[in-house]
Amino acid sequence: MANRNFHVHLVSDSTGETVSSVARACLVQYEGIFVQEHVWSLVRSPAQMEKVMQAVERDRGPVLYTLVDPELRDVVRDHCRRLQLPCVGVLDQAMSVLAVHFHSKSEQWPGRQHQLDEGYFDRIDAMHYTLAHDDGQSTHDLEDADVILVGPSRTSKTPTCVYLANRGVRAANVPLVPQVPPPVELEEARRPLIVGLITDPERLVQIRVNRLRLMQQDTESEYTDMDTVQSEIQEARRLYARRKWATIDVTRRSIEETAAAILQMLATRREQRLQST
């Protein structure tokens, strides 16, 4: 039964990010199959939907959708019923529960989560700040950050910061370089949440070697020496303990999991500050 091939159609009246994320979160749980995803975004008219349904009939497979227009939803359901294909509105149950709880009907507004509101501009501002403060740049205004990630080279600081910026978090990162003291601005920062990242030395060596190979550089150096890397991690641990910074081991964490842990820390910190005022 291995290596089976399937088609899945993801239909959205907006960018398709939501339905794609839900589909992939589900599909990774199945091994031994190959799924070709057909993403149909910005589908907002019957004519566009008709073309999508023609493709569904040609490459038959389940249809997952996020559509707010009742007419378009009916078209998808009716067509899939005729083809005897599964059809799932990935937000339907959540929206139904919320409508009952709020005693209110939802607005029929495609892509409303992407509107240019204050939250959107906050995310843009956060991204600008994060890019300007990547890898120890512009340390003079670290106090303006929401969170500062600290750690040895290749501990996922930059991608985690970018992920956080997409959530509206002003995230800076500062690398720990052997024999080089951290910048004074980091030591003096009081407002930001400072999080130290560590990882397994063997895993870190492997990541660094692969990185150097991609850059066609020499892989034999202190940068990839096991003893040196172990010393880096130990020194990082001592620094975090001395400064009483939060610590996250990213060895077996994805970027999303690390970011989720940091967001939880930020939420807890905000609650504590509110309670103290």
Query: Predicted confidence band at 277 (pLDDT cuts at 50, 70, 90)?
Result: low
- Helix, strand, or coil (residue 70): helix
Q: How far is CA 93 from CA 98, 250, 259, in A?
A: 9, 34, 27
| Cα distances (angstroms) measured from residue 29 to each of 23, 25, 33, 61 | 10, 7, 10, 18
Residue 9: in which H helix or E strand, if any?
strand 4-12
pLDDT level of residue 188 (50, 70, 90 thresholds)? very high
pLDDT band at 3 (very low <50, low <70, confident <90, very high): low
Q: Which residues are annotated as a binding site for ADP?
A: 151-158
Lowest mean pLDDT among 23-27, 140-144, 145-149: 23-27
pLDDT at 108 over 70: no
Q: What is the pLDDT of residue 1?
A: 42
CB 135 within 8 A of CB 158: yes
For residues 221 and 229, the answer to whether their CB atoms sit within 8 Å is no
Binding residues: 151-158
Residue 166 has pLDDT above 80, yes or no: yes
Q: Where do runs of H (alpha helix) occur along 155-199? A: 157-165, 184-188
Rounded Cα distance, 127 and 261, in Å: 19
